[in-house]
């Protein structure tokens, strides 16, 4: 009564190869964007993390370091996750190993 009959219409037959090709061409910019993102951002960041991890693993007692907060000192104690950093004569603070950002050349601190 209130609902009229709906008749299904068939879509014109499209070539199977043309449809697949247009789908691949529409995804190509997205794939290219991820490839560029990998080489521009992700890969250099992973390399930087690997170098930082190697630097932290290579720390030894007596190394002169700079922390992420800008504190400069000499490594006095070594622990698994923490370092004892001597910032002045007789003044030692504990920091996380990952907070070390730079190892200074020997003799930088006077």
Q: What is the mean pLDDT of residues 85-95?
A: 95
Q: Where are the domains of the chain?
A: 16-57, 61-110
61-110 is classed in which CATH architecture? Roll (2.30)
**Alpha-carbon distance 34 to 31, whole Å?**
5
Band the pLDDT of 108: cuts 50, 70, 90.
confident
Tokens of 22: 């247009």
The model's confidence at residue 92, banded by pLDDT at 50, 70 and 90, is very high
- Work out the number of other CB atoms within 10 angstroms of the CB of residue 59: 15
65 burial level (CB within 10 Å; 0-12, 13-18, 19+): buried
Whole-number percent of the chain with pLDDT over 70 = 85
- Output the pLDDT for position 11: 59
- The reply to whether the predicted model has a pTM over 0.85 is no
Kindly indicate the confidence band of residue 10, based on its pLDDT and cuts at 50, 70 and 90: low
């Amino acid at each position: 009564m209130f609902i009229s009959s709906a008749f299904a219409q068939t879509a014109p037959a499209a070539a199977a190869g043309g449809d697949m090709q247009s789908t691949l061409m529409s995804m190509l910019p997205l794939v290219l964007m991820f490839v560029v993102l990998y080489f521009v951002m992700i890969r250099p960041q992973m390399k930087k993390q690997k170098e930082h991890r190697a630097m932290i693993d290579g720390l030894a007692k007596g190394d002169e370091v700079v922390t992420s907060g800008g504190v400069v000192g000499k490594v006095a104690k070594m622990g698994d996750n923490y370092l004892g950093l001597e910032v002045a004569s007789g003044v030692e603070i504990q920091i996380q190993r990952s907070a070390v950002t730079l190892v200074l050349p020997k003799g930088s601190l006077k």
